[in-house]
Amino acid sequence: MQLPHQALLACSVRDCGADLERVQRLWRCSAGHCFDVARSGYVNLLQPQDRRSLDAGDSRRTVEARRALLDAGFGAALRQCVQTLASTVALEHGAAVVDFGCGDGHFLDAVCTALGCAGVGLDLSPHAIESAAKRHAHGIWVVANADRRLPLRTGVFGLALSIDGRRPGAEAARVLSERGTWLIAIPADDDLCELRETVLGESRPRAGIERVEAELRGLFQLHEKRTARATLRLDRNDLERLALATYRCARRAEREKLESLTHLDVTTSHDVLLFRRMPGA
Ligand SMILES: [Zn+2]
């Protein structure tokens, strides 16, 4: 991941939106609004009206569970697929990548490293953003609500990522350049099928490709689609982490079933989609 060639952030104070400039331990706009850089290097650009609760986003335990799963190789197939597909995108010189729900920066760092470019990671969870800032010093890590106006400059990003994350269509079209692309990964039909069958007894269909296409109609057009799939044997500890990481097994009966397992082969499966911004969108 590289340092950016140009200003990428915009002031989040209501009706301001001026470019933010990094001045030592502050991000500052031309109107004089200032945001402190935290000790670990991230910045919190949430405004009071964008905050749903004081402790919004993933908890520290959830962030740690996700990290442990990634370290155990869960997510390697998705990372490889995202990296390969992102490498087919021809970024204009100096263009940057933005991730709308970056967690601890795992996928954004993989993509920026592959493309040799700068990246901005947004997440609602201060725990996730702090972890990202500690792991990847060159990235710009921002606590922000991806469901509101994004604290990003218009038209300066060549590629956006949503890996199991938010899909703010109109805002993505605004911050991407004219020829920008958006890489979206969503759970495929067989994602976590063993866990769902064994523990949860659910077989409801997931948000499919057609739904994403319908959501983005008029703004983005599907250009390419791949599948990332792998099956891993998870032990009891990793199964508990998976439940935590995916907000599952909250009911008592589900927890008891989960705790009765010594291990389970679990399939992780994603549709990885590359959308192109439509001209004039
Ligand atoms: Zn401002």
The CATH homologous superfamily to which domain 20-59+75-187+204-231+270-277 belongs is: Vaccinia Virus protein VP39 (3.40.50.150)
Mean pLDDT by 10 residues, the chain (281 residues): 88 95 95 96 90 75 92 93 94 91 96 95 96 95 93 97 95 96 95 86 73 96 97 93 84 84 94 94 80
Q: Taking Cα atoms as reference points, which of 167, 164, 198 lies closest to residue 267?
A: 198
Ligand 1 mean position to 170 CA, how many Å?
Answer: 22
Ligand 1 midpoint to CA 145 (Å): 17
Instruction: Give kind and range of the element (H or E) at residue 221.
Output: strand 220-235
Please list the alpha-helical segments (H only) found in 4-125.
60-71, 76-86, 106-115
The pLDDT, as a whole number, for residue 94 is 82
Query: Where are the domains positioned within the chain?
Result: 20-59+75-187+204-231+270-277
Report CA(171)–ligand 1 centroid distance (Å). 19
151 CA from centroid of ligand 1 (Å): 10
Helix/strand number for the chain, H first, E second:
9, 11
Threshold 0.95, pTM exceeds:
no
pLDDT at site 117: 94
H-run or E-run covering 100: strand 96-100
The CA distance from 192 to 80, in Å, is 19
Q: How much is the pLDDT for 48? A: 80
pLDDT for the residue 56: 74
How far is ligand 1, taken at its centre, from the CA of residue 18, in Å? Answer: 5
Per-residue model confidence (pLDDT) at position 9: 98
